[in-house]
Structure 1
Amino acid sequence: MPLSPEQLREVDDLRAETTPTLRATAPGMEQHLYTPVQVLDHGFVRVVDYMGDDAAITQAARVSYGRGTKSVSNDEGLIRYLMRHWHSTPFEMCEIKLHVKLPVFVARQWIRHRTANVNEYSARYSILDREFYIPAPDALAAQSVVNNQGRGEALQGEEAERVLRYLRDDAMRAYDHYEEMISTEGQQGLARELARMNLPANIYTQWYWKTDLHNLLHFLRLRADAHAQYEIRVYAEAIAGMVKDWVPFAYKAFEDYRMGGATLSAAAIDCVKRMIAGEEVTQENSGMSKGEWREFQGVIEG
């Protein structure tokens, strides 16, 4: 269970309590506040707090750029202009704080996004729960033959059953030994900060993660992408749904210009112009490497 009965009661109590405020609120995000969204088998993500909305982005932009934005007739148009021209500072006026429960190996990917404030559950002071991420059968895949950091086809039959058995058995055995090492019943017991090193990377941890909208969108661009690892992508997709309700204008611009758009090199733009003019362009006469050409074809051919 992602949240204990006590934690669920706490969420209900928090959502039931209302306080008058003069601060700006986003109705879409108010619906998400405190409510956990389940991710994977034991994980979740929930909004603990937030600041700002679409109006905060345009407010900051108009202070920064003054007369330069007067030709933009509305807030949505201004936000799209900012996104289109990579003016990132106004998006930093919005912030969000998330409570996330996730496997340790996902956390180690996630923490590479260093533009955030993080406070993680400490296994030096507390004992970790016996909760491990065990993939669903359709998420068990072989190594990709074309991508060194990707997956290939899903494992089938006896091989899939064998892998799942190893994952479960190894996790349980490691946790049994973890408990025995820190036991205080008739033995001195190993320090928790040392006993934790015996635990596998699929055990769950928790943290509070606070970041601004600009850096959150960068996180989503990389981690909600179809090429991202499945286990972190599902967290990014859950967060993306919250962001869409929080700042709808900014999220729509993000979808159009970042997730759905593409950046072309000077060589690629030259190739597009030559194609429009009717010239036959190939990898050999494009001025691009094979990898660049393959990616270029993926953009123009869909």
Structure 2
Amino acid sequence: MPVTPEQQAEIDALRSAPRSTLRAVSEGMEKHLYSIYPVLDHGFVRVVDYMGDDAAICQAARVSYGKGTKSVQNDEGLIRYLMRHWHSTPFEMCEIKLHVKLPVFVARQWIRHRTANVNEYSARYSILDREFYIPAPEQLAAQSVINNQGRGQALTGDEAARVLEILKSDSGRAYDNYEAMISQDGQEGLARELARMNLPANIYTQWYWKVDLHNLFHFLRLRADSHAQYEIRVYAEEICKLVADWVPFAYKAFEDYRMGGETLSAAALDCVRRMLKGEDVTQENSGMSAREWRELQEVLG
């Protein structure tokens, strides 16, 4: 179950009582407030609150640029200029607060982005639900032979079935023991803060995550990338949809210059210039390592 009955009741109550406001609002984001967007088998993302819109980015930029800027640049052009030239502070004027339910091992990756405010569900005070992330069969894969962090070919047949059964049975057994340890039926019961250490990393946790748009774009550039781990990438992809409706000009610039663009090293740029002059450039005469050369070839297609 993505949300508890209590959480759903709270969401329904908030949605049923809209309030007028004098602050700037993003019509695209308003439709997402208090809506649940499922991710993985038990997870979700929902927008709790936000501040700012495309206009807020431009407003902040024009304060620093001085009077008269608006007469020569429209909002979209200004935002694209800011993104193109790596001006970050105007994007920090927008913030978003998300409620996310996610597996613990995904949360441990996510929390490495230390530029957000986080408040996580506490297993010291509360009992975690019996909910575990169990991958879909097509997501079970062998270790990649070229990337120590990644996956290779999908597992099939008996091996895939055996792995799924191990994941399900180990998760259930760990939770059974967790319940047995904290139970006060005929015993004192182990403290929750100790019992939780026996739970597997695929159990679900929840948190509120508040971040400004500049740092959110950095998170999305890394985690919505095709090379990111699938389990965090699907969360990032869902957030991308929200951001595209919230700040459409900024998100389009982000897609063009960050997600769809490439940053080349001085050596790589020199190779491209030599290629354009008609030179036969190889890895051996490029001055680049084998891995750098392979990555450049991928960029150039």
Which TM-score tier does this pair reach, normalised by the shorter chain? Answer: over 0.9
Give the drift of 1:70: 5.4
Instruction: Give the Cα separation in 2 of the matches to 1:150 and 1:249.
Output: 33
Give the drift of 1:17: 1.0
Greater shift, 71-80 or 152-161, is seen at 71-80
1:154 aligned partner: 154
Instruction: Give the Cα separation in 1 of the matches to 2:200 and 2:172.
Output: 10
Give the drift of 1:11: 1.6
1:235 aligned partner: 235
Equivalent pair of 1:225/1:259 in contact (CA under 8 Å): yes
Task: Name segments (4+ residues, structure 1) moved above 3 Å.
Answer: 67-72
2:195 aligned partner: 195
Instruction: Give the Cα separation in 1 of the matches to 2:36 and 2:216.
Output: 19
2:275 aligned partner: 275
Equivalent pair of 1:100/1:207 in contact (CA under 8 Å): yes
Name the SS for the 1:87 alignment partner. Answer: coil
Equivalent pair of 1:36/1:46 in contact (CA under 8 Å): yes
Name the SS for the 2:66 alignment partner. Answer: helix
Question: Any idea what the Cα deviations from partners look like across 1:140-187, whole Å, max 9, x if unmatched?
Answer: 111111110100111101111110110000000000000000001110
How high is the TM-score relative to the length of structure 2? 0.98
- Kindly report which structure 2 residues correspond to 1:39-118, keeping only aligned pairs within 5 A, or say none: 39-66=39-66, 69=69, 72-118=72-118
Instruction: Give the Cα separation in 2 of the matches to 1:246 and 1:236.
Output: 15
Instruction: Give the Cα separation in 2 of the matches to 1:58 and 1:4.
Output: 40
How high is the TM-score relative to the length of structure 1? 0.98
Q: Give the residue type in structure 2 aligned to 1:112.
A: R
Give the drift of 1:9: 2.8
Greater shift, 1-10 or 150-159, is seen at 1-10
| Residue 26 of structure 2 corresponds to residue 26 of structure 1 | yes
Q: Give the residue type in structure 2 aligned to 1:54.
A: D
Q: Give the residue type in structure 1 aligned to 2:136.
A: A
2:177 aligned partner: 177
Q: Give the residue type in structure 1 aligned to 2:99.
A: H
Equivalent pair of 1:130/1:175 in contact (CA under 8 Å): yes
Equivalent pair of 1:69/1:78 in contact (CA under 8 Å): no
Name the SS for the 2:189 alignment partner. Answer: coil
2:264 aligned partner: 264
Instruction: Give the Cα separation in 2 of the matches to 1:143 and 1:60.
Output: 47
Instruction: Give the Cα separation in 1 of the matches to 2:67 and 2:27.
Output: 30
2:6 aligned partner: 6
2:128 aligned partner: 128
Q: Give the residue type in structure 2 aligned to 1:18.
A: P
Alpha carbons of 1:291 and 1:118: their partners in 2 closer, same or farther (altered >3 Å)?
Answer: same
Instruction: Give the Cα separation in 1 of the matches to 2:68 and 2:82.
Output: 12
Equivalent pair of 1:72/1:78 in contact (CA under 8 Å): no
Question: Any idea what the Cα deviations from partners look like across 1:109-153, whole Å, max 9, x if unmatched?
Answer: 000000000000000000000000000000111111111010011
Instruction: Give the Cα separation in 2 of the matches to 1:143 and 1:42.
Output: 25
Instruction: Give the Cα separation in 1 of the matches to 2:72 and 2:206.
Output: 43
